[in-house]
Amino acid sequence: MAYLTLGKRLLARRLYLVLSCILTGLLIAVHLEAARPSISLHVSNIDADVNRTLVGRAVNNTLVVVPVNTGMLYWADNLLCSLQRTDFDSNQVLFWALDARAKTLLEAQGRATYFDASLLSVATNANRNGDTRDYRKMMRERPKFFVDVLSAGYDILMIDADTVWFQSPLVLRDESVDAVFSTDAREFYQDHDAFRDAWRRGDRIPPVCAGVFWMKASAKTVRLYQDMLAVFNGGLRTLALRLLFFQDDQRGLDVLLNDGRTRLVEPLPRGITADMLKGRYRDHAEMRVRLLDQTEVVNGHLLKNRPRRYQESLANLRSEGEDRIAVHLNWNPRDVTKEDGSKEMGFWLLDDGGDCKDP
């Protein structure tokens, strides 16, 4: 009986995923087409003074952006420690200050900031012990920033403060594509079909992570975030989308990247082959997307929950003459906080006084 019950649960889960994908397509088609605004690359709200700051921080037109509020500033310090060990000039980082105090404290350290007081935010570490309502509200504000910066003509390299770098973040730039994403998968693609991920929002692009990605400024990428805002600000008309699929900007990306506009292109991450892409994309899928290798830029789910497999993959990577680029410490912190986990794994780079430890 236990096996029968388990079988029913698995079947129900699969049916739910299939129905979710179908409903996603239907809801997107119905709601977004009516909600889409006219698209122009020159609709940015960034004024001349702010633009001067952006020009001074852009590297080959790419802004390396770190979003941070007051409650996450110690993570920004940890990130900067890791960047000091690479050939990247950390003075080129643009800190997206999410609250006024963070802006003040960062600028007192000589750091460049971008601050938009109109965007909702909280000053505390809103998800220190798990996903919270305040955290989700903050994430739903992020598309406004992306629309402004991309519309101003700047490419964006977005890196969360809870990342540790072993190489320059700029190695993620790829001018041949529209966007390069790290993944949010809970399994390595060598062990589990990337396109059958239980967290997927479609069968074209596996789940991505909005904490580490590069995106080219274009009408296509501006449209992506304008479509997301149309859902977030759609009132009752898009309520079903928000409740079922667009809980935050990362889930929104997963939906929109699977709505037919995008195609996955080479070089592919280990575990995904060219044969797996055949017949998967529409002819009009113009937005070209790359996925980063899961070992080169590992997410916290794999790092924390699949440590042995990660170490095996890292050893294989190094045997091929390559190495990791970054780790993203974004596991679910309900069981183990990011601070405790990073210290256990050797990714906490600050001493008791908050200064960088010697390498």
Where residue 256 sits, what CATH number does that domain have?
A: 3.90.550.10
Give the length of the chain: 359
Low-confidence winner among 30-39, 114-123, 125-134, 187-196 (lowest mean pLDDT):
30-39
Measured from the Cβ of residue 354, the count of other Cβ atoms closer than 10 Å reads 11
Asked, for residue 66, whether it belongs to a domain, the answer is yes
The string of pLDDT tens digits covering residues 59-78 is 999 999 999 999 999 999 99
| Confidence grade of residue 139 (pLDDT, cut at 50, 70, 90) | low
For residue 92, pLDDT over 60 is answered with yes
Give the pLDDT band (50/70/90) at residue 2: very low
Q: Identify the residue with better confidence: 306 or 203.
A: 306
- For residue 4, what pLDDT is reported? 42
Q: What is the pLDDT of residue 246?
A: 79
Please give the pLDDT value at position 126. Answer: 52
Domain assignment of residue 358, yes or no: no
| Residues paired with 156 in a beta bridge | 63, 215
Give the pLDDT confidence score for residue 201 in this predicted structure: 78
Choose between 184 and 126: higher pLDDT: 184
Q: Is residue 350 situated within a structural domain?
A: no
Average pLDDT over residues 157-184: 97
* Across 294-310, average pLDDT: 97
Give the mean model confidence (pLDDT) for residues 275-281: 93
Q: How high is the pLDDT of residue 42?
A: 40
Q: Considering the domain boundaries, does residue 355 fall inside one?
A: no
Residue 39 has pLDDT above 60, yes or no: no
pLDDT of residue 123: 67
How many Å apart are CA 68 and CA 96, to the nearest integer? 6
Per-residue pLDDT for 28 more than 90? no
Q: Band the pLDDT of 14: cuts 50, 70, 90.
A: low
Query: Looking at residue 247, what is its pLDDT?
Result: 77
Question: Using CB atoms within 10 A of its CB, is residue 345 exposed (0-12), middle (13-18) or buried (19+)?
Answer: middle
354 domain-assigned: no
Percent of the chain with pLDDT over 70: 82
- For residue 117, give its domain range: 2-345
- Flag whether 357 is in a domain: no
**pTM of the complete model:** 0.85
Rounded Cα distance, 145 and 46, in Å: 10
Cα atoms in the Cβ-side hemisphere of radius 13 Å centred on 68: 32
Please tell me which residue, 44 or 85, carries the higher pLDDT value.
85
Q: Please tell me the total count of domains within the chain.
A: 1
Q: State the pLDDT at residue 5.
A: 53
pLDDT at residue 359 in the model: 67
Q: Which pLDDT score is estimated for 119?
A: 82
Report the pLDDT value the prediction gives residue 61, as an integer from 0 to 100.
97
Whether 252 is in a domain gets the answer yes
Contacts of 40-47 with CB under 8 Å at 24 or more apart are 40/151, 40/219, 41/150, 41/151, 41/153, 41/217, 41/218, 41/219, 41/222, 42/151, 43/147, 43/151, 43/222, 44/147, 44/148, 44/149, 44/151, 44/152, 45/148, 46/148, 46/149, 46/152
CA distances from 77 to 11, 48, 64, 122, 266 (A): 47, 29, 16, 19, 34
Arithmetic mean of pLDDT, 278-305: 94
Band (pLDDT 50/70/90 cuts) for residue 3 is very low
And the tokens for 295?
Answer: 């070992």
pLDDT at 51 over 80: yes
Distance CA 111, CA 91 (A): 7
Overall average pLDDT of the 265-291 stretch: 94
Considering the chain, what is the average pLDDT of its residues? 86
128: pLDDT strictly greater than 80? no
Residues 39-47, mean pLDDT to the nearest whole number: 59
3 state SS for the chain: CHHHHHHHHHHHHHHHHHHHHHHHHHHHHHHHHHHCCCCCCCCCCCCHHHHHHHHHHCECCEEEEEEECHHHHHHHHHHHHHHHCCCCCHHHEEEEECCHHHHHHHHHCCCEEECCCCCCCCCCCCCCCCCCHHHHHHHCCHHHHHHHHHHCCCEEEEECCCEEECCCHHHHCCCCCCEEEEECCCCCCCCCCHHHCCCCCCCCCCCEEEEEEEECCCHHHHHHHHHHHHHHCCHHHHHHHHHHCCCCHHHHHHHHCCCCCEEECCCCCCCCCHHHHCCCCCCCCCEEEEECCCCCEECHHHHHHCHHHHHHHHHHHHHCCCCCCEEECCCCCCCCCHHHHHHHHCCCCECCCCCECCC
pLDDT interval class at 1 (50, 70, 90):
very low
- Flag whether pLDDT at 141 surpasses 60: yes
CA-wise closest residue to 299 among 159, 205, 152: 159
Q: What's the pLDDT score for residue 157?
A: 98
Indicate if the pLDDT at residue 177 is higher than 70.
Answer: yes
Question: Quick check: 151 pLDDT over 50?
Answer: yes
Average pLDDT value for residue range 233-248: 80
Q: How much is the pLDDT for 124?
A: 63
The verdict on residue 353 lying in a domain is: no
